[in-house]
């Protein structure tokens, strides 16, 4: 079954790229059929023309008609200028037979528009400028094309390759009874052809997908001038930099449950964010294609070429044609609704995208600790023993996880009474260690009239329906199940209510949630998912919104956890399926990976791609879900995971147990050390998440984000930055004795976090690695806050002291920040109960000052250690100065060989103003 699915998908996507026509093998995707239509269309060379005499300019948008020469079906185009240098282009049928699906609930607010001014332009063109006038849309009438111009340079062209494609909804020939409707057939002589091609009815095994109003796909091309580096459109087990698809598969966005997914594959897996970024020296752009149906993206990069112009004199003999990347988006249905994010910098792009879809939810602090999962921890005894194991081996951890077997026959919100007779007692044990519990809750609901979640949902009509009008039924873990229709706000409200403590028997306030199988996964369904003609709230077919189904479950779950605390506590919800904007609801992981080195390696680009498309809180199963990692791989995975945002060990059923202490003392020590490094850095992680939350800065960053003007960084994906201060290069090869680390930036200096050795930037260094080496480098010019003592879990560390790691720049200065709040509530937001401090080091003086005066959060915590790297001269004295003028001498240790200065036994309150003078 699985093999067949993969074969289908690959074949379909490849067909699309190569243009080979095939018969109706697929049945259930646009991939093959879209290709057929594409061929059909292109062979007719029909183009679109904008009717610029129809232009109307409203408060929000400029509208005009576009018409296809062949079908003559009018389309309505709307161009919006949106606050923050964003353009939006919407194209829909002028008068569709019935409304076409427009994705709701993703945009956080109705974006504020800026009035576009129409300037110049002759009869054949129209120029729209935003208020400031440096960004312009040049619209050409015939053939229809839009050029996005910034400072007189065309940065992007739309439809310059004539790939605008819009299949209008049709009344089936058989139903056209009236004369008028019969006449309609003249506008589309192709319907019979389409039927012959099988586009009205496709087969996938035993499934028949009838398209009531015929094929409805849409497509559009974008040419990015001067760009050859593109990123984004997760989720694929692929490189960070998007590949040219001209001789291979197109990137597919279709949320699917793919156990042990193949790597370096363009097949869609669990989630989709239809958003890509393009970067070149001096500019970053973004294209956000707001469509939730099955989508394909083709990418074709044309390298720069040098022409020799023989006719001309020797001076002008050579002309360089800029490189260009063409991106072709195609979706099965819906409308064209695309946002053009114009940057120009990577951080502008992050702000623009977050303005549309929201920022990362601020996670509760515990969720940045280490999570211990397994399918399954068998019973309460098992949980108790594993929990104790961490303490016995002095390994910190924060969260115990229970998979599907904890329930009564996979009925979510229940407990298996034999295995977990007293769930509250078990949670009290965890609470006593300041730890939490996460349990799973999937979207499929076992069909069982005695199961109250099922019977109540059934009674209220809360399930997705099949096209005959009954409840959709499909097989998943519990056997025959129905699927909650989370697209219905009433269903979401009801589902959220299931998390209240009274409704969810056995739950307490330390219990959090994991949403799995929400692509949705339907065993024995086409491609292991739901039929496209299943019906949702509002009568929308599943095909319209497939990719956003999981997003809605995540939303309802997060809302449920907030509600059960009466709005006070931050939720933690992990989801497998996601869409643009899922960051607002919690964390995402990369699903069922395999315990092989190649999967450890691919986790880095996969997480980088999620991170730059808004989803900062992401991680991969540490150790690999499927199979048994050897001890060395497990250690390397813990070391990598400790430096990735969501840090959870997980393993499938029937794999050997692999808790950190089961591989012998030496390996236990290595894993303990990796996890301890994670806990030491928690203040820095927390600050980075605060930045992601308030300023949309990714936590885990590809090098090109931090060094957008350094070409050498654009293709790097075996290392990354955490924030702007730490560069991490996880070891992903077996028996490695060295790794080649690229240290970017010609004006930079980098310090090895372990040996304190330093290098100037813009070079690759060979770093010797032993099994205990995690190659981490601190950027000169940064200050990183750490915890100096590690507890059993984050809860034990709230009062423990801090240290500051100061790494001086080539100019001898450094900066850093620190953020603190209660770690769990919304008081930071509603009551401004937070502390945001700034550290700066200049001319031998380290200053702690307030970074945000709006916040108040008194703390007793002190900075007890300061470690400075890159201090060239031995100081003669070090003194601390408090804001009341008190001066105290400090004992210090200086190492001339390494140029480091260590100050210990300090007692400087982290939340107050003070200075340290080094003379």
Q: Which residues bind ligand NOJ (CB under 6 A)?
A: 375, 403-404, 440, 516, 576, 591-592, 625, 650
883 backbone φψ class: left, alpha, beta (φ>0; ψ -120 to 50):
alpha
Structural contact between residues 533 and 34, judged by C-beta atoms closer than 8 angstroms? no
Report the alpha-carbon distance of residue 600 to residue 278 in Å, rounded. Answer: 26
How far is the C-alpha of 14 from the C-alpha of 31, rounded, in Å? 9
Tokens of 625: 């879900």
Provide, rounded to whole angstroms, the least separation between the CB of residue 905 and ligand NOJ: 46
The nearest distance, CB 236 to ligand NOJ, in angstroms, is 17
Give the helix ranges, DSSP H, for 475-585.
489-497, 542-545, 549-564
Q: What separation in angstroms does the CA of 235 have from each of 2, 476, 606?
A: 19, 23, 7
Q: Tell me if 717 sits within 8 A of 702, measured CB to CB.
A: yes
Instruction: Tokens for 701, please give them.
Output: 């960053």
Instruction: Give start and end residues of each alpha helix (H) in 702-835.
Output: 703-706, 827-830
Q: Which residue, 576 or 693, has its beta carbon nearer to ligand NOJ?
A: 576
Nearer to ligand NOJ, 67 or 620 (CB): 620
Could you list the active site residues? 516, 519, 592
Angle at 888 between CA 885 and CA 894, to 5 degrees: 135
Q: Rg of the Cα trace of the chain?
A: 29
Cα separation of 590 and 650, whole Å? 12
Number of neighbours of residue 876 by Cβ within 10 angstroms: 7
300: Cβ–Cβ under 8 A, 6 or more apart, which residues? Answer: 244, 245, 246, 325, 326, 327, 328
Of residues 846, 839, 840, the one with CA closest to residue 901? 846
* Token duo for residue 383: 């949980």
Which of 390, 394, 413 is CA-nearest to residue 402? Answer: 413
Report the C-alpha dihedral over residues 753, 754, 756, 760, rounded to 10 degrees. -50
Residue 181 CB neighbour total at 10 angstroms: 12
Q: What is the b/e burial string over 465-476, where b = at least 16 CB atoms within 10 angstroms of the residue's CB?
A: bbbeeebbebeb
Shortest Å distance, C-beta 445 to ligand NOJ: 15
* DSSP per-residue letters across 859-877: ---EEEEEEEE---S--S-
Residue closer to ligand NOJ (CB basis): 580 or 620: 620
For 23, counting Cβ atoms within 10 Å of its Cβ (0-12 exposed, 13-18 middle, 19+ buried), the class is exposed
**539 φ/ψ sector (left φ>0, alpha ψ -120 to 50, else beta):** left
83 token code pair = 């606050």
Nearer to ligand NOJ, 650 or 693 (CB): 650
Cα separation, 520 vs 575, in Å, equals 12
Backbone torsions φ then ψ of 90, nearest 5 degrees: -120, 135
Question: Rounded CA gap, 460 and 456, in Å?
Answer: 6
Closest alpha carbon to 701 in 615, 761, 581, 611: 611
Contacts of the segment 878-884: beta carbons below 8 A, 24+ positions apart: 878/903, 878/916, 878/917, 878/918, 878/919, 879/916, 879/917, 879/919, 880/906, 880/908, 880/914, 880/915, 880/916, 880/917, 881/914, 881/915, 881/916, 881/917, 882/912, 882/913, 882/914, 883/912, 883/913, 883/914
Which residue of this chain has its Cβ atom nearest to ligand NOJ in the complex?
A: 375
Which residue shows structure tokens 């449920």?
Answer: 560
How far apart CA 397 and CA 391 sit, in angstroms, is 9
Distance between CA atoms of residues 4 and 6, nearest Å: 5
Length of the chain: 919
Q: How far is C-alpha 96 from the chain's CA centre?
A: 34
First vs last C-alpha separation in the chain: 72
* 355 versus 375: smaller Cβ distance to ligand NOJ: 375
From residue 793, give the alpha-carbon distance in Å to each of 371, 434, 680: 10, 7, 11
Tell me the C-alpha to C-alpha distance, in Å, between residue 548 and each of 103, 267, 441, 867: 9, 17, 18, 48
């Amino acid at each position: 079954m699985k093999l067949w699915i993969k074969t289908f998908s690959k074949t379909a996507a490849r067909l699309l790229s190569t243009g080979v026509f095939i018969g109706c093998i697929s049945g259930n995707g646009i991939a093959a059929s879209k290709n057929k239509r594409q061929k059909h269309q292109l062979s007719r060379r029909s183009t679109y023309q904008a009717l610029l005499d129809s232009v109307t300019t409203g408060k929000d948008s400029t509208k005009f008609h576009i018409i296809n020469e062949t079908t003559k079906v009018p389309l309505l185009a709307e161009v919006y200028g949106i606050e923050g240098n964003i353009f939006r282009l919407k194209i829909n049928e002028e008068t569709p037979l019935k409304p076409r699906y427009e994705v709701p609930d993703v945009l956080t607010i109705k974006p504020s528009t800026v009035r576009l001014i129409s300037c110049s332009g002759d009869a054949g063109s129209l120029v729209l400028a935003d208020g400031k006038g440096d960004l312009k849309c040049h619209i050409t009438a015939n053939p229809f094309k839009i050029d996005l111009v910034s400072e007189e340079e065309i940065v992007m062209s739309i439809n310059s390759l004539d790939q605008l494609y819009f299949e209008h909804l049709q009344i089936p020939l058989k139903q056209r009874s009236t004369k008028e409707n019969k006449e309609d057939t003249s506008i589309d002589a192709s319907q019979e052809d389409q039927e012959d091609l099988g586009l009205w009815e496709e087969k996938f095994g035993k499934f028949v997908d009838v398209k009531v109003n015929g094929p409805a796909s849409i497509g559009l091309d974008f040419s990015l001038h001067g760009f050859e580096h593109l990123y984004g459109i997760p989720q694929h087990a692929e490189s960070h930099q998007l590949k040219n698809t001209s001789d291979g598969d197109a990137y597919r966005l279709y949320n699917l449950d793919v156990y042990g997914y193949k790597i370096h594959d363009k097949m869609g897996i669990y989630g989709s964010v239809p958003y890509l970024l393009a970067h070149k020296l001096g500019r970053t752009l973004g294209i956000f294609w707001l469509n939730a149906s099955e989508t394909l993206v083709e990418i074709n990069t044309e390298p720069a070429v040098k022409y020799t112009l023989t006719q001309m004199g020797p001076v002008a003999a050579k002309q360089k044609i800029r490189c260009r990347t063409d991106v072709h988006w195609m979706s099965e249905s819906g409308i064209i609704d695309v946002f053009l994010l114009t940057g120009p910098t990577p951080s502008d792009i992050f702000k623009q995208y977050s303005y549309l879809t929201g920022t990362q939810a601020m996670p509760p602090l515990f969720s940045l600790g280490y999570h211990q999962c397994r399918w399954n921890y068998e019973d309460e005894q098992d949980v108790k023993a594993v929990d104790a194991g961490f303490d016995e081996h002095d390994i910190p951890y924060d969260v115990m996880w229970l998979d599907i077997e904890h329930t009564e026959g996979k009925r979510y919100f229940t407990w298996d009474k034999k295995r977990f007779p007293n769930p509250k007692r078990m949670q009290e044990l965890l609470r006593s260690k300041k730890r939490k519990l996460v349990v799973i809750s999937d979207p499929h609901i076992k069909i069982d009239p005695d199961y109250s979640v099922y019977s109540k949902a059934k009674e209220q009509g809360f399930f997705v329906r099949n096209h005959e009008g009954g409840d959709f039924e499909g097989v998943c873990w519990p056997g025959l199940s129905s699927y909650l229709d989370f697209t219905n706000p009433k269903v979401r409200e009801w589902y959220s209510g299931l998390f209240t403590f009274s409704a969810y028997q056995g739950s307490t306030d330390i219990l959090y949630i994991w949403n799995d199988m929400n692509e949705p996964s339907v065993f024995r369904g086409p491609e292991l998912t739901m039929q496209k003609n299943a019906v949702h709230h509002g009568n929308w077919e599943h095909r319209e919104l497939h990719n956003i189904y999981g997003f809605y479950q995540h939303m309802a779950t997060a809302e449920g956890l907030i509600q059960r605390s009466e709005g006070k506590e931050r939720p933690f919800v992990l989801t497998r399926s996601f869409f643009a904007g899922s960051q607002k609801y919690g964390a995402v992981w990369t699903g069922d990976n395999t315990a092989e080195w190649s999967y450890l390696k691919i986790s880095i680009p996969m997480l980088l791609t999620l991170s730059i498309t808004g989803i900062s809180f992401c991680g991969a199963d540490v150790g690999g879900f499927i199979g048994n990692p050897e001890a060395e791989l497990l250690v390397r995975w813990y070391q990598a995971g400790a430096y990735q945002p969501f840090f959870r060990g997980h393993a499938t059923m029937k794999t050997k147990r692999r808790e950190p202490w089961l591989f012998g003392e030496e390996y236990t020590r290595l894993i303990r050390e990796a996890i301890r490094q994670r806990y030491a850095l928690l203040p820095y992680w927390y600050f980075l998440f605060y930045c992601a939350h308030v300023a949309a800065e990714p936590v885990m960053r590809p090098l090109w984000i931090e060094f957008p003007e350094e070409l050498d960084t654009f293709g790097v994906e075996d290392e990354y930055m955490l924030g702007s201060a730490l560069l991490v290069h996880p070891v992903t090869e077996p028996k490695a004795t060295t790794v080649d680390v690229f240290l970017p930036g010609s004006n930079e200096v980098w310090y090895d976090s372990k040996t304190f050795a330093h290098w100037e930037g813009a070079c690759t260094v060979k770093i010797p690695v032993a099994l205990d080496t995690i190659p981490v480098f601190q950027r000169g010019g940064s200050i990183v806050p750490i915890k100096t003592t590690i507890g059993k879990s984050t809860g034990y560390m709230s009062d423990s002291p801090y240290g500051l790691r100061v790494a001086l720049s080539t100019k001898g200065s450094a900066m850093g920040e620190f953020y603190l709040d209660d770690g769990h509530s919304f008081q930071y937001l509603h009551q401004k109960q937070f502390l945001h401090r700034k550290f700066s080091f200049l001319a031998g003086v380290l200053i702690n000052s307030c970074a945000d005066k709006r916040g108040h959060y008194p703390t007793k915590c002190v900075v007890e250690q300061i470690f400075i790297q890159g201090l060239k001269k031995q100081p003669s004295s070090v003194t601390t100065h408090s804001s009341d003028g008190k001066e105290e001498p400090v004992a210090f240790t200086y190492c001339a060989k390494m140029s480091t200065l260590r100050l210990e036994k300090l007692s400087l309150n982290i939340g107050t103003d003070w200075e340290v003078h080094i003379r």
